Structure 1
Amino acid sequence: MTDPNQATRVVDTHQHLWMMSERAYDWIVPAYGPLYADFGPEDIADEADAVGISATVLVQAADTYEDTFYMLSVAAREERVKGVVGWVPLDRPGEAEAALDLYAPSPYVKGVRALTHTYEDPRWILRDDVAESISLLAPRGLALDYVATTAEHLELVPELAGRHPDLKIVIDHMAKPDIASGAWEPWATQIRAAAALPNVFIKISGLNTASGAEWTAADWQPYVDHVLEVFTADRTMLGSDWPVIILAGDLTRVWNAQLEVISGRTEAEREAVRWGTAASVYGLEF
């Protein structure tokens, strides 16, 4: 029998929170304008309700324990938050293991991510010490979110996934295709190569900040169609990338555009993208 509550399930798999007044976020500098401020759960609650987001996965915004524990504190008091993608020092395997053991009792820790797109070495994620830490994730039922913002980042996903075949790897923000200039390659070919590995998943998220100033959902459509062709809906999910999206829009406009670009899919496909894939990848409980 179909659960009637499924019809109202919509998961935002990529939401950030940060409190700069309380802890450090090294990458958030005054040049980012409106992002250089505190963003707590109360700042998105009303708009999330309005667009129908029923569940949220919080994703790390700093390579610090402080950031992860802040997200866990929010999860403990906010019913909408169903999961946290936190941080451990992947290049320090002993410490990473200890941190994962400390996180283990929490019902909210669903995955791990690091701000690898800011690192000097684009192949950092393939280092032997990092691989040792990554090997600890799958046995604990945790996923790895991966930020690929350049072709060099994206091209190594098949190798990463091949090294860790039991690990669910999630490509954030569709690997940031250059929508603003209408570029298609090498992104399209690299996305197809990444999708060939069955343990790789992808988020439709962060597209507005990869687009031109006057973006519309139509600008995104060919990129999203390609992702759905090669990954299928069962390996694709939605994420807002709030509050980063306020650099080029707001939650209502972005979320509605994301729903628009999947509106031509079957109901089963839309259900998968809206919540089913997220529930499977992150082990979410509703």
Structure 2
Amino acid sequence: MKVDAHQHFWNPDKVAYPWLGPQHGPIYRTFEPEELEPELRAAGIGKTVLVQSANSYEDTEAMLRQAERYEWIGGVVGWVPLLEPKEAEEKLKRWSKLPAFKGIRHLIHDEPDPDWILQDKAIEGLKVLAAYDMTYDVVAVFPNHLKHVPLLAEKVPGLKLVIDHLAKPPIADKGWEPWAEQLARAAQYPNVYAKISGLNTAASADWSAEDLQPYIDHAVKSFEAERLMFGSDWPVALLAGDYAQVWNETNRALARYSDSEKAAILGGTAARFYNL
């Protein structure tokens, strides 16, 4: 089964998204399941993982309602207040009983403090997630957050972590270090996974598989296919292409790998990680 392990929906008329504004051009509007469905069919994708777009209960509840209506939404990555571990636990007591609810994310890259996730209270909150067997998506936007992933893996060894978007490597500038070393170091921890997602919006405007190739190859070398998963990052992907382009160019970049490696990256890893 092919899985898109990272996509979003939002409706600014119903839920507040403080980061989203007119400056975001084509994605400053409502995106709902009916628009994505034909793209998934064309790519042969059977399940998706719907990921939070706001640090709010309202966003999570909206996603859970969508998961009830659309069987192809295999999992929801929602939000709880990590700095309020008791409140987070109360929510997880209820949400963890829902088959679609799989994990948590916080928009740490929007926090003024780049070390936000290392606070004692945040670590306590992550330990609550681990106790409920929830996953944690790390918005480890380079250069501020990727270096923290090994610390998180050590402090909460029972928590499954996944680095979103390979931490947004500096593709447009053809940059390499220290991103490459930091990603390889994070991969040394068996509870850390990564998403081959969101790379097109880190590249130049006329990007192709060739631009993504070195970064994907380094990820495969570091994590191996069994800890990597594809994600479209739709509709954010529309800032630099479309769904079909992201899917096709990612597949071109993976063409050199074995059938079993491609099967893992394009579905198997996500199915295991999120228990789809």
State how 1:4-19 maps to structure 2 within 5 Å: 9-19=1-11
Do structure 1's residue 233 and structure 2's residue 230 form an aligned pair?
Answer: no
Do structure 1's residue 79 and structure 2's residue 34 form an aligned pair?
Answer: no
Q: Deviations over 1:188-232 (max 9, x none)?
A: 000011001111000000001000011011000010000000100
CA distance in 1, matches of 2:260, 2:34: 32
State how 1:247-262 maps to structure 2 within 5 Å: 247-262=239-254
State how 1:157-236 maps to structure 2 within 5 Å: 157-236=149-228
Q: Deviations over 1:78-105 (max 9, x none)?
A: 0110100000011111111111112122
Q: What is the CA distance between 1:139 and its match in structure 2?
A: 2.4
CA distance in 2, matches of 1:61, 1:199: 24
Match of 2:271 among 249, 257, 279: 279
CA distance in 1, matches of 2:109, 2:21: 17
Q: Letter of the aligned partner of 2:41 in structure 1?
A: D
Q: What is the CA distance between 1:138 and its match in structure 2?
A: 1.9
Q: What is the CA distance between 1:150 and its match in structure 2?
A: 2.1
State how 1:12-161 maps to structure 2 within 5 Å: 12-161=4-153
CA distance in 2, matches of 1:52, 1:257: 15
Q: Secondary structure at the match of 1:145?
A: strand
Q: Which contiguous aligned blocks of 4+ residues in structure 1 show a shift greater than 2 angstroms?
A: none
Q: Letter of the aligned partner of 1:202 in structure 2?
A: A
Number of aligned positions between the proteins: 276
Q: Letter of the aligned partner of 2:13 in structure 1?
A: S
Unpaired runs of 5+ residues, structure 2, are: none
Residue 257 of structure 2 is matched in structure 1 by 265
Aligned partners of 2:198 and 2:232 also within 8 Å? yes
Q: Secondary structure at the match of 1:150?
A: coil
Unpaired runs of 5+ residues, structure 1, are: 1-8
Output the aligned Cα RMSD: 0.8
CA distance in 1, matches of 2:91, 2:238: 33
Q: Secondary structure at the match of 1:72?
A: helix
CA distance in 2, matches of 1:282, 1:239: 13
CA distance in 2, matches of 1:94, 1:167: 18
TM-score (norm 1): 0.95
